[in-house]
Amino acid sequence: MTANRLPDREFRFGNRLPPDFAWFCAPKDYQLHDGLVFQTEPNTDFWQRTHYGFQNDNGHALLTPVSGDFAFSAQLVFDYRTMYDQCGLLFRADANNWIKVSLEYEDASISRLGSVVTNSGYSDWATTDINSDVTVMWYRLQRRGQDVLIENSYDGTVWLQMRITHLQADLSGAKVGIYACSPKDSSFECRVPVMHLGLNKWEVPES
């Protein structure tokens, strides 16, 4: 399935996972009631080298292949417990080239609303502080060529630009979907009520 062939599809989950979506590093268990619900495993993460030195590529992700330009969005509902717990969207070419966007828990007061872009095996992290009382968030990734627009929304209607970025890798085999992980010795519940995959609506800039 690709966004080019099946534009504007909505996935609300039923008694099975959506067609052509598959787990990368599946959780031990998941349920399909009022959306996709699963618990993260401890010591799971997506990060490559920068500053911290480590390379982790074992977060839970439910992904589907995409070719060409697309827009992918999802609503995430979460119950963070421990520092660095996170869930959001992942656009992945391979272990060394990917984008993730999420809220990442710091403490009872502050979380980090941000994105990580990994090119050639080195990750960056762009964030802004947000109140940890927020437990529901929409995210959207829109691709045009090698460029990606990263957005968030509190209601799934009004979208706020977080970042415009560029992936350098060959994206012909790339996949997109939702992810969650707990980098420390912890676990939390993530729920995904709905996902959307469709045509890119990112406006072309005027020349």
For residues 165 and 147, is the Cβ–Cβ distance under 8 A? yes
- Closest to 17 (Cα-Cα) out of 145, 192, 207: 192
Farthest CA pair distance, the chain: 50
Determine the pLDDT at residue 3: 40
Q: What is the pLDDT along the chain (207 residues), one digit of tens a residue?
A: 344 444 689 999 888 999 899 999 999 999 998 899 999 999 999 999 888 777 899 999 999 999 999 999 999 999 999 999 999 999 999 999 999 999 999 999 999 999 999 999 999 999 999 999 999 999 999 999 999 999 999 999 999 999 999 999 999 999 999 999 999 999 999 999 999 999 998 987 776
* H or E stretch covering 126: strand 126-131
Q: At a CB cut-off of 8 Å and minimum separation 6, what does 100 contact?
A: 46, 88, 89, 90, 91, 115, 116, 179
Question: For the chain, how many residues are written?
Answer: 207
pLDDT at 51: 80
CA distances to 71, 144, 202 from 205, in Å: 17, 11, 9
Determine how many CB atoms are found less than 10 A away from the CB of residue 16.
8
d(CA 52, CA 68): 33
Query: How high is the pLDDT of residue 207?
Result: 67
The CATH classification number of 9-198 equals: 2.60.120.200
